[in-house]
A = this chain, B = another copy of it.
């Protein structure tokens, strides 16, 4: 069965919306933040810990799983859910972004992308069909179309050619898609150009997908440009399908995205900054390596309901991080993911009460102080 998006309500004063996504692995609430499990594991965490922090959909990555362990092994294991012991919904990225960000010496043609593996330098060829075929085998609940993530800045000419090709790739991918239990999302590109975003959105919607992503953001552009990219795309996306802003996980960006009608977010940020000793708090990010936490026997954040805050002090977590103990990274990862998931819970509450803007203002005010 494909996923089904159900809009519950629109917020009175903004484009923010409350919704449900029904999947074969349960129903999840939107707006939502999706933890990233690139290599079939959300770094340092168990599936039970993900459930504990109320995670809905988690992400995994086509490019990485294609290289290791290989999609056939995941298929033989019975698909990604069984392979990694996660019985909630899983979304797989198409590999387009990783080809852009990780691969060396890439060569993009109409057919696809030739590039070198970031692991062993092996020459690889990824096409829209191949990306979908891999995702079909991984058996995620939501697959992504293969796209080119346009660098920023890019010339109008480059952005136009790339955006047009991404549409042709989306069409090819859709035709190649064969897994009846897997939904497929299209991705709106267009770079920083309003008319290209419009064209891309309309053409992608014409092809007809189970949901729509906004890609090509978080690639170095400034915040107003990112928010404009979202606006330029989202106005042409249908109300009855979920909208996913790819690679965005900064708390303020989540609020700005929700205000513009985004339902889904993902980002490696919460687990990556955890590995460097950082924690989100309502009063902004803190770095546990800072000496001022040496004798701070309070939790990362007062009133946080996560496992790390219920049982451990900043002093202990600081000790673990300084001593390079992975349990410290694990505690910070739990906290940071819970922070973003709790943020979306609070956002949903504020939408239900038509008080999104008050909530946003209050949050940002504290967070940036």
Contacts and interface: CB of A to CB of B under 8 A. Distances in A.
Q: Which 7 A-B pairs have the closest CB atoms?
A: A69-B319, A39-B323, A41-B327, A85-B311, A326-B326, A41-B325, A44-B326
A312 B73 contact: no
A84 interface: yes
A323 B85 contact: no
B44 A316 contact: no
B326 A84 contact: no
B43 A316 contact: no
A329 B325 CA distance: 12
Contacts of A195: none
Given A40-B316, A327-B44, A322 B69 contact: yes
A313 interface: yes
A294 B74 CA distance: 10
B323 A77 contact: no
Given A83-B316, A326-B329, 11 more contacts: A39-B325, A40-B316, A40-B319, A41-B320, A44-B327, A45-B327, A68-B319, A73-B294, A73-B295, A83-B315, A83-B319
Interface of A: 39-41, 43-47, 64, 68-69, 73, 76-77, 83-85, 294-295, 297, 311-313, 315-316, 318-320, 322-323, 325-330
Nearest to A324: B39
Q: How many copies does the complex hold?
A: 2
Contacts of A322: 68-69
Contacts of A328: 41
Contacts of A45: 327
16 contacts: A39-B319, A39-B320, A40-B316, A40-B320, A41-B327, A41-B328, A43-B325, A43-B326, A45-B327, A68-B322, A69-B319, A73-B294, A76-B295, A83-B313, A83-B315, A326-B329
